[in-house]
Amino acid sequence: MSPGSSALLEVEGLTVDVGGTPLVRDVGFTVGRGERVGIIGESGSGKTLTALALLGLLGEGLRAGGSARLAGVPFDLLGATDRELSTVRGRLAGMVFQEPMTALNPVMRTGAQVAEALRLHGPRSERPARDAARATAVELLGRLRLPDPARAARAYPHQLSGGQRQRAVLAGALANDPALLICDEPTTALDVTVQKEIVDLIRGVSDERGTAVLYISHDLALVASVCHRVLVMHDGRIVESGPVEQVLRQPEHPYTQALLSASDLSVPAPRPPAPAEPRTLLRARGLTRRYARPRRGLLGPRTHFTALEGLDLELRAGARVGVVGESGSGKTTLLRLLSGLDRPTSGTVENAAGDGLRDSAPGSGLQVVFQDPMGSLDPRMRVRDIVAEPLPDRRSPAAAARVAELLADVGLPAEAAGRYPHQFSGGQRQRIAIARALAPRPSVLLADEPVSALDMSVRAQVLDVLSRVTAERDMALCIVTHDLGVVRYLCDEVVVMREGRVVERGPVERVWVAPEHPYTRQLLDAVPVLR
Amino acid sequence: MPSAHALARRPALTAGGILVTLVLALALLSLLWTPYDPTHVDAAQRLLPPGGGHVLGTDQFGRDVASRLMTGARTTVFVGVVAVGFAAVIGVPMGLAAGMSGGPLSALLMRVSDFLLAFPALLLAIMLAAVYGTSTLTAMVAIGIASAPGFARVARAATLRVMAAEYVDAARLARRTRAAIALRHVLPNIRDVVIVQASVAFATAVLAEAALSYLGLGTPPPTPSWGRMLLDSQELLFSQPELCLWPGLAVAAAVLGLNLLGDGLRDRFDPTLEGVR
């Protein structure tokens, strides 16, 4: 567990700039042999650029300065030519990227890609023969605990799951037993239970082989569970560094303190007083959605895939329900059915549009806040038009007044109305999306992963806006998410889904303390926590 | 306005822009002024070499080549604009409807487009000329019909991408009608690819008009057109080669300019380059 004393990587005065504008400024740190160092920062902090600069992988127009020495390499990594660096990449330092699908070549078998890493990066004299490399690749995949490694080696990347793909990428990066492994958000695209497996794997390999790890992430808790030491980056600089325990327990820099308190969702948001006689706003009965699979062959039988089976849900005024599940659990299907964007194969959705409960049609009494605040706002429209879109008289002065009122409500300045979505940060864009959802005075607000695309420091703010606006209007709030922390922070009731079925439901605190279903327990265990 | 530095970073866009502007300027200028009357026949001034009173010389009927080249640019631009406009007006709504509806309507529209694509454009022009007589209009319609499938395909692909965006779901939840979604969300977001397609189709139209006129299926005499000038100069190819050089160069410059412009615009609009300034 104790990292070696001699330095493996020494970085001094590292800068990255584009056309004279500095993006990374004067970054210096060391990584000891076998040591795991985390770099924490939000989007734009320069953490990824730092890692890319070390391996000479910066994009066009970006220039690195300073010095970076890797033990066993006679030249400075930052001044080296591409040819020189190619002797380092993959052999002395391996890299794992965020998105395993794009890191792998889609038309090449997985095993062949791992074997290629062995053959290309290995020392010329001991370059293994093609067959030997293939065999070693299978062995490597097995060591990274891919089930049935021989079969995985023959599979193409799209035939593997996200977690399996990331294992294959890891196998390629570790093929030549590098002294340093650089991981850039390796689990951000993965489910939380898979994340835990990958992180355990990285830690295990590092302990077993003495591989040093430079682990880049926005997730404090995750870095705390992997690393010995942590560097906090903000605005292109390292603002704080030290052993994980020390930085997390006694953060010195105000930015670190702010980041820590924003990441901590364990103290629930203030709850609104429940309405005296909560009326039912939305009722779903026996919701089932099946999709037809393409026929296998011309006369093959028609088969179906069941995305959601027999779900019941009732939302009352003032309710805050969290639907939790991993990818493929049917939670997005549920949201599309509830909002009327898709029709159920069987079952009914009724909502309180006007006086009584009626069949759900898109937009009647129910609005959605989508996951990606860039994709859910039309890039060609001004904020004013985006927020006014659900209003019946969107060109009238009354509509303009309502837009101004809504923008103020979600904490945006009035002049935001005249600007375009790309001029805002992720958190601000999500506020715009919330303002639009509130415009037609819905009684139910559905939110699909509303904060998973956002930086830690704005997550709590956006959740607080959601909480406040729904409470003020006696609305029901239903959040669909993979993030248990978000549910605990905001919701009273939780529904845990897996493969299209509800496996457990109940009050949040009860489920948190005493989960009944083994899957719920597994989910809870997989969440990295800041102790 | 883009700075000189920005222009230098996009050489294709700049070179294409200059060439296209030059052709447009010639066409516009010819409306006001040409050195001589481009259709004035003068047997005494036949086949004069370049220089002297006639910058580019005269052809076998004694007409001033420079004046005919300028007026020919007008025909080229006119045919291009009308043919491409016609193609876009047919093709874009087809692609939009196919992309938004899906299912049988989409399949039907795209098969119609495939049929048009498979039908030889030249045959279409000959058919139209046989029925309606040769005229610039017939040529424009033939070229327009032949270019429409390109617009339909490009518009459909772009529409499919837009329809998958969450802001379209949000618009449905805002109870916008399909027509409103098409006009307010889809069209503005597929505009870029349609513009790029238009510049490429324009180049094809210039070439097609020259080819049709050369075959005698396009602009009838005496109206000058580059293709017609090529046809007229063909019999003198060996004695007066420069006579076919000028219209040939003009066609090449216009097509090259439009293609460069199209490439440049595509790079400019490429969403993967967004944010790279």
* Overall average pLDDT of the A458-462 stretch: 85
Which CA distances in Å does A518 have to A196, A521, A525, B55?
16, 5, 10, 91
pLDDT higher than 90, residue A159: no
Dump pLDDT digits (tens) for A377-393: 998 899 999 999 999 88
* Overall average pLDDT of the A504-518 stretch: 92
pLDDT at A364: 67
Say yes or no for a CB contact (<8 Å) between A381 and B176: no
pLDDT higher than 80, residue A531: no
Say yes or no for a CB contact (<8 Å) between B169 and A341: yes
Residues of chain B short of pLDDT 70, as ranges, are 1-9, 270-277
Establish how many alpha carbons lie within 13 A of residue A408's alpha carbon, considering only the half-sphere containing its beta carbon: 7
Q: How far apart are CA B154 and CA B164, in angstroms?
A: 16
Say yes or no for a CB contact (<8 Å) between A368 and B170: yes
Candidates A74, A67, A77; CA nearest to A27 is: A67
pLDDT at A519: 92
Q: Which residues of B touch A433 (CB under 8 A)?
A: 170
* Overall average pLDDT of the A63-87 stretch: 87
pLDDT higher than 80, residue A305: yes
**Class of CATH domain B13-27+56-257+264-272:** mainly alpha
Say yes or no for a CB contact (<8 Å) between A362 and B173: yes
* Overall average pLDDT of the A27-56 stretch: 90
pLDDT higher than 50, residue A4: no
| Residues A477 and A447 sit within 8 Å (Cβ to Cβ) | yes
Alpha-carbon gap: B144 to the closest alpha carbon of chain A (Å)? 29
Say yes or no for a CB contact (<8 Å) between B173 and A339: yes
pLDDT higher than 80, residue A219: yes
pLDDT at A1: 39
The contacts of residue A215 (CB under 8 Å, 6+ apart) are: A36, A37, A38, A39, A183, A186, A202, A223, A226, A227
pLDDT at B8: 62
β-bridge pairing A320-324 and A346-352: unpaired
Q: Which residue of B has its CA nearest to A61?
A: B276
Candidates A217, A182, A188, A220; CA nearest to A202 is: A182
Which of A362, A375, A390 lies nearest to residue B166, judging by beta carbons?
A375
pLDDT higher than 60, residue A481: yes
pLDDT at B268: 77
Chain A 390-429, CB below 8 Å of chain B: which residues?
390
Dump pLDDT digits (tens) for A243-255: 998 998 889 999 9
The contacts of residue B152 (CB under 8 Å, 6+ apart) are: B90, B91, B92, B94, B95, B98, B109, B110, B113
Which has more confidence, A76 or B220? A76
* Overall average pLDDT of the A86-114 stretch: 85
Q: How confident is residue A124, by pLDDT bands cut at 50, 70 and 90?
A: low
Alpha-carbon gap: A268 to the closest alpha carbon of chain B (Å)? 29
User: Domain map of chain B by residue range?
Assistant: 13-27+56-257+264-272
Say yes or no for a CB contact (<8 Å) between A389 and B172: no
Query: DSSP states of A182-247 as a string?
Result: EEESTTTTS-HHHHHHHHHHHHHHHHHHT-EEEEEES-HHHHHHH-SEEEEEETTEEEEEEEHHHH
The contacts of residue B141 (CB under 8 Å, 6+ apart) are: B83, B86, B128
Dump pLDDT digits (tens) for A340-358: 888 899 998 887 754 455 5
pLDDT at A122: 64
Which CA distances in Å does A150 have to A154, A159, A426, B60?
7, 14, 43, 79
Q: Which residue of B has its CA nearest to A366?
A: B173
Q: How far apart are CA A98 and CA A187, in angstroms?
A: 7
Q: How far apart are CA A497 and CA A253, in angstroms?
A: 40
Q: How confident is residue A493, by pLDDT bands cut at 50, 70 and 90?
A: very high
Q: Which one of A378, A438, A443 makes the best mutation probe of the B interface by having the most chain B beta carbons within 10 Å?
A: A378
Which of A366, A375, A380 lies nearest to residue B188, judging by beta carbons?
A380
Q: Which residue of A has its CA nearest to B185?
A: A378
Which CA distances in Å does A11 have to A8, A70, A374, B70?
10, 9, 36, 65
Tokens of B131: 């029925």
Which of A368, A377, A380 lies nearest to residue B173, judging by beta carbons?
A368
Dump pLDDT digits (tens) for A136-150: 889 888 888 888 888
Per the omega criterion (within 30 degrees of 0), is the bond before B241 cis? no
Q: Which residue of A has its CA nearest to B187?
A: A380
Report the b/e string of A342-362 with b at 16+ CB within 10 A.
bebbebebbbbbeeebeebeb
Q: Which residues of A touch B165 (CB under 8 A)?
A: 375-376, 378
First and final C-alpha spacing in chain B: 14
The contacts of residue A432 (CB under 8 Å, 6+ apart) are: A373, A377, A383, A386, A387, A407, A410, A412, A416, A421, A424
Long-range contacts of A52-55 (CB under 8 A, 24+ apart): A53/A14, A53/A16, A53/A24, A53/A78, A54/A9, A54/A11, A54/A78, A54/A93, A54/A182, A54/A214, A55/A85, A55/A88, A55/A89, A55/A93, A55/A95, A55/A182
pTM of the model: 0.81
| Residues A440 and A473 sit within 8 Å (Cβ to Cβ) | no
Tokens of A424: 């805002």
Q: How far apart are CA A506 and CA A495, in angstroms?
A: 7
pLDDT higher than 60, residue A236: yes
| Residues A339 and A368 sit within 8 Å (Cβ to Cβ) | yes
Q: Which residues of A touch B176 (CB under 8 A)?
A: 389
Dump pLDDT digits (tens) for A428-441: 999 999 999 999 88
* Overall average pLDDT of the A121-131 stretch: 72
Domains, chain A, with CATH or none: 1-92+181-263 (3.40.50.300), 107-177 (no CATH), 280-382+440-526 (3.40.50.300)
pLDDT at A90: 81
Alpha-carbon gap: A178 to the closest alpha carbon of chain B (Å)? 33
| β-strand partners of A70 | A9
pLDDT at A221: 85
Q: How far apart are CA B65 and CA B232, in angstroms?
A: 12
Q: How confident is residue A362, by pLDDT bands cut at 50, 70 and 90?
A: low
Secondary structure (H, E, C), A407-444: HHHCCCCHHHHHCCHHHCCHHHHHHHHHHHHHCCCCCE
By the 10 Å C-beta count (0-12 exposed, 13-18 middle, 19+ buried), B11 is classed as exposed
Q: How far apart are CA A89 and CA A73, in angstroms?
A: 11
pLDDT at B274: 45
Angle A526-A528-A529 from CA coordinates, rounded to 5°: 130
pLDDT at A5: 54
How many CB atoms within 10 Å of residue A461?
17
